A and B are shown apart, each in its own frame.
Chain A
Amino acid sequence: MLSLRRLREQAIEGFIFLNALLGVAVLVGIMLLLLREGLPLFRDYSFIDFITGTHWYPVSEPPTFGMLPSFTATLWVTGGAIAIALPIGVLSAVFLSEVAPPWLRDVLKPLIELISGVPSIVIGFIGLLVLAPFIADALNLNTGLTGLTAAIMLAFMSLPLIISISDDALQAVPDEYREGAYALGATKWQTVWFVLIPAAFSGVTASVMLGIGRAVGETMTVLMVAGGALKIQHSIAEPMRPMTATIAAEINNAVQGGLQYRALFATGIVLFILTFIVNLIADIVLERQKRKFQR
């Protein structure tokens, strides 16, 4: 009787364990399939040309697959988004954590969370119909569909992440830090600036990393509002097409197993590696932050 129960327990544990492994399997599966579909590109097309090529003409004869235009567009758009989101995000986290009274915090936190619930297609739609005409007017451009437009929308999308994780980091700083600073005669602002933000620095860094990850991987918004030009641009206020948008724009026209199909998967590999590194750094930094105040 007892052994039967034990058997049952072990069967359940084994089954549950398999499900946990499925999480690993999906990640490994993504990696393997990207490699399987993407790597054969380099049998027919030089790896160097792919990485350093400045022209992406998938349907010309012969086709060229230089990913630099997409890659630089991703850098522009992500850099722009973080430049906007970092100061606003950290200041908002300071406001939520150190200034706002509890009732206001209780109202604002769910509202900020709600932003991350708005689908990227809706954000892209707003960018297309509202922000793009405004940008074109304000900067006197021919088109409002530029890297800048995309960067503003992406900043908006990565803000919830940056705010909530920076806020967590500030909240995790023990009150002794605040009390010590006040005892030395520091004002509340001085405490925030010279004590709390340095103490929460790794949490803030992690939040920015996750924000970068979100901006790099965002697809629909960028596809709709970045302009789609496949040229290496020297200003953020030009139309461009980041890597995600390139994949999304062409995947339906690519023939399975063809060169273009493989080149899009190869772009996917680059994208995967980029976000993997960024998330890994964020995870390591977050772990360190957690341990810092653990007693």
Chain B
Amino acid sequence: MSTLAGSRREVFARRWIQIAGFSLAGLATAAVIAPVIWVVADIFVRGHSAITWDFLTQDPARQGKEGGIFPVIVGTFYLMIGTLIFAVPVGLQAAIYLSEYARPGRLLRLINLSIVNLAGVPSIVYGLFGLSLFVFTLNLKTSILAASLTLACQALALIITSSREAMVAVPREWREGALALGASRWQTTRHVVLPRAMPGILTGIMLAIGRAAGETAPILAVGVAFQLGKLPNSPDDQFLALPYHLYAIAIQVPGMPESRMWATALVLLAVVLAFNLGGIILRIYYGRRRQS
């Protein structure tokens, strides 16, 4: 470090190293961002022409080479609802416990550790879990119910983590004020903490549901169908889903027109990104408002 303030030449060299270094950092960032924009744009350009009203509202024909993808969209919609119903109540309550009730100790550490690891379990392992527990042991067969429960287990970690973060961020003074007014802990949580944390919680839920809509491996293992005669009309029914449909027409059906694959990819991407974008915008909007 003794040469830090050296001769003019060294100062010059240092300046250029700095410029080169930061340019490289900028280039790296561009190398991350550019492909995303390009991929999204590419999917839109190649897919949008095949998206017609019929494509969105008709049943597939001839292994998806003709017709539309209506039942596939409906299947994914049901899965999202199912995941929402099973994962949100449990995840939210778990987060309330961790943020508002839990006292530090071994038990809390065990719960935290479980949630961290739950988030890292590979999606196909969730698939094996769902297959063994819901499909075989609980005998739910290949159904919307079994797939939703599997996806809900996977979504749990994300919902707990994001909801807890949102609640922990609520200033302590708010709770103390409520408690000082004679409110019980539950009343404080219900009427003070939860409303304030709601934007953050909703963001997490939207991200989790968006992710569930795009998951393929778990529903593949649990046994999503590729061709079905009718729309599912009860939770015990078999179902189709966008991500698996895309996989099947891209890999398994020879002679599939490429535009149909791109169109399916576009519909899936639109559904998933709409939820992600919604979540991100919600957070930025409320983040700004809170600062002012």
Contact = CB atoms under 8 A, between A and B. Distances in A.
B18 A217 contact: no
Interface in B85-112: 89-90, 93-94, 96-98, 101-102, 110-111
Contacts of A244: 122, 124, 217
Contacts of B75: none
Contacts of B151: none
B214 interface: yes
B132 interface: yes
A180 B211 CA distance: 43
A16 B28 contact: no
B242 to A, nearest CB: 9
A94 B25 contact: yes
B127 interface: yes
A114 interface: yes
B180 interface: no
A217 B124 contact: yes
A153 to B, nearest CB: 10
A256 B97 contact: no
A248 to B, nearest CB: 5
Interface string A225-265: 00000000000000000001001100110001000000011
A5 B121 CA distance: 41
A294 interface: no
Given A34-B128, A111-B36, A122-B268, A184 B133 contact: no
A72 interface: no
A125 B123 contact: no
A262 to B, nearest CB: 11
Contact of A280 (B117, B157, B207): B117
A119 B241 CA distance: 13
A83 interface: no
Interface stretch (A41-49, A52-60, A136-144, A187-195): A187-195
Contacts of B181: none
A100 B127 CA distance: 41
A87 interface: yes
Contact of B96 (A16, A28, A121): A16
B32 A163 contact: yes
Given A17-B101, A276-B120, A91 B28 contact: yes
Interface residues of A, number: 90
Given A91-B29, A122-B265, A125-B261, A13 B117 contact: no
Interface of A: 5, 8-9, 12-13, 15-17, 19-24, 26-30, 33-34, 36-37, 87-89, 91-92, 94-96, 99-100, 106, 108, 110-115, 117-122, 124-126, 128-130, 156, 159, 163, 184-190, 192-193, 210, 213, 216-220, 224, 244, 247-248, 251-252, 256, 264-265, 268, 271-272, 275-276, 278-280, 283
Interface of B: 1, 4-5, 14-15, 17-18, 21-22, 24-29, 31-33, 35-37, 39, 42-43, 89-90, 93-94, 96-98, 101-102, 110-111, 113-129, 131-133, 136-137, 153, 156-157, 160, 184-186, 207, 210-211, 213-217, 220-221, 223, 243-244, 246-247, 250-251, 258, 261, 265, 268-269, 272-273, 275-277, 280, 284
Given A118-B269, A219-B123, A283-B116, 6 more contacts: A119-B215, A119-B216, A156-B35, A189-B22, A220-B247, A265-B132
Identify the 5 closest CB pairs spanning chains A and B, nearest first.
A119-B214, A217-B122, A117-B276, A91-B28, A279-B120
28 contacts: A9-B185, A16-B94, A20-B94, A20-B111, A23-B114, A29-B129, A34-B129, A87-B28, A88-B28, A88-B31, A92-B32, A99-B22, A99-B26, A106-B284, A111-B33, A117-B211, A122-B43, A187-B15, A187-B17, A210-B120, A218-B123, A219-B216, A220-B243, A224-B247, A224-B250, A247-B221, A256-B136, A271-B124
